[in-house]
Amino acid sequence: MPMPSVDIIVPVFNEQEVLPLFQERIQAVMQSCDVDWRVIFVDDGSSDESREVMRQIHDADGRFGFVALSRNFGKEYALTAGLDHASADAAVVIDVDLQDPPELIPDMIAAWHSGYDVVYATRKVRHGESATKKATANLFYRAINAMSKIDIPKDTGDYRLMSKKAYTAVNKLRERNRFMKGLFAWVGFKQKQLLFEREPRAAGQTKWNYGKLWRFALDGITSFSYVPLRFATWIGMTVAIFAFFYGAVIIAKTLILGNDVPGYPSLMVVILFLGGIQLTALGIIGEYLGRMFDESKQRPIYLVEEYQPPTDS
């Protein structure tokens, strides 16, 4: 029987300092695994020397290949490109910054051999992250699971192993606004959770600021929930019902007591309140409409500038 194979998908954006450290760690870990393994780096339009470092790593060890995108498309699209280029019996998705320890891969492979199609890693401790980031991450997972029909594992990033059946199913989902954690959960299959302690970055700086995290959260919610649209409907109906009864009270009061001079402050409060509700509803609709516009253009999800395939061990 041929030895099972594993492709390791690694998105990269301006990570020249940590790439050699990642190479050393992954080589040490995979030596203990009874599989044929390859690494596919995905250069997401790095502006530093990351691509040159990846080329040097490939020259030193052919099992390390890379896909270079034509520009910075974003991590979700880099993950998609890596999975599109995978062909092994299973694929592992892992970040290059070594916050997710490669030493967990043998346990993932063991769970895969025991019959699981998806083995995902959940953070029980998040070292090196601020209290604000931990709190907002916790709030995000609670919010999206409350609004979505898909159960997305809490405190779980992209770090996981997927059988060929599972990642092939993910590759069939070609939507442009991609929230990979949701897509991984949407395909289903038999899944297992592994717990680990997340470490600080091995080198370099995080590329995620709060602006990017906000857009990421918004993509996740709008991709897997219609609750915001329904919320706009509910609050609109509530305000309309309130306005109807309030108008009836004013009419009755006028007929019984006569017409009095309306107060300017109360009038402004009502106008501003209704205007705010309308603009909020239009903003929510606009978010969904913009995503529909992106889908309708049918542009490629990403473009490849260079591909250096890895070789088998």
Instruction: Give the per-residue pLDDT at 72.
Output: 87
Q: What fold, for 5-225+300-308?
A: Spore Coat Polysaccharide Biosynthesis Protein SpsA; Chain A (3.90.550)
Instruction: Give the per-residue pLDDT at 210.
Output: 56
Three-state secondary-structure class, residue 23: helix
| Contact present, 69 and 81 (Cβ < 8 Å) | yes
For the four alpha carbons of 207, 212, 214 and 220, in that order, the dihedral sign comes to negative
Instruction: Give the per-residue pLDDT at 136.
Output: 66
Rounded to whole angstroms, how far apart are CA atoms 124 and 127? 10
Instruction: Give the per-residue pLDDT at 306.
Output: 87
* Cα–Cα separations (whole angstroms), residue 303 to 3, 7, 215: 33, 21, 22
| Contact present, 182 and 142 (Cβ < 8 Å) | no
Walk along the chain (313 residues) and give the pLDDT tens digit of each residue: 678 889 999 999 888 888 889 888 898 888 888 888 999 999 988 888 888 898 989 888 888 999 999 888 888 888 889 999 988 899 999 988 888 888 888 888 988 888 899 898 888 766 655 666 666 666 766 766 666 667 777 777 788 899 998 899 988 888 877 778 778 888 888 888 888 877 765 555 555 555 655 565 666 566 666 666 666 666 766 766 676 666 666 667 666 666 555 665 566 566 767 776 777 777 777 777 777 777 777 778 888 888 888 886 5
Burial level of 107, CB count in 10 A (0-12/13-18/19+)? Answer: middle
Which residues have a Cβ under 8 Å from the Cβ of 52 and sit 6 or more positions away? 16
- 0.75 cut: is pTM over it? no
User: So where are the chain's domains?
Assistant: 5-225+300-308, 227-297
Strands lying side by side in the sheet with 118-126: 191-198, 118-126, 156-163, 90-93, 5-12, 36-43, 64-69, 304-308
Instruction: Give the per-residue pLDDT at 9.
Output: 92
Which residues have a Cβ under 8 Å from the Cβ of 176 and sit 6 or more positions away? 291, 294, 295, 297, 299, 301
299, containing H or E segment: none
Instruction: Give the per-residue pLDDT at 213.
Output: 58
| Contact present, 186 and 169 (Cβ < 8 Å) | no
For the four alpha carbons of 279, 283, 286 and 290, in that order, the dihedral sign comes to positive
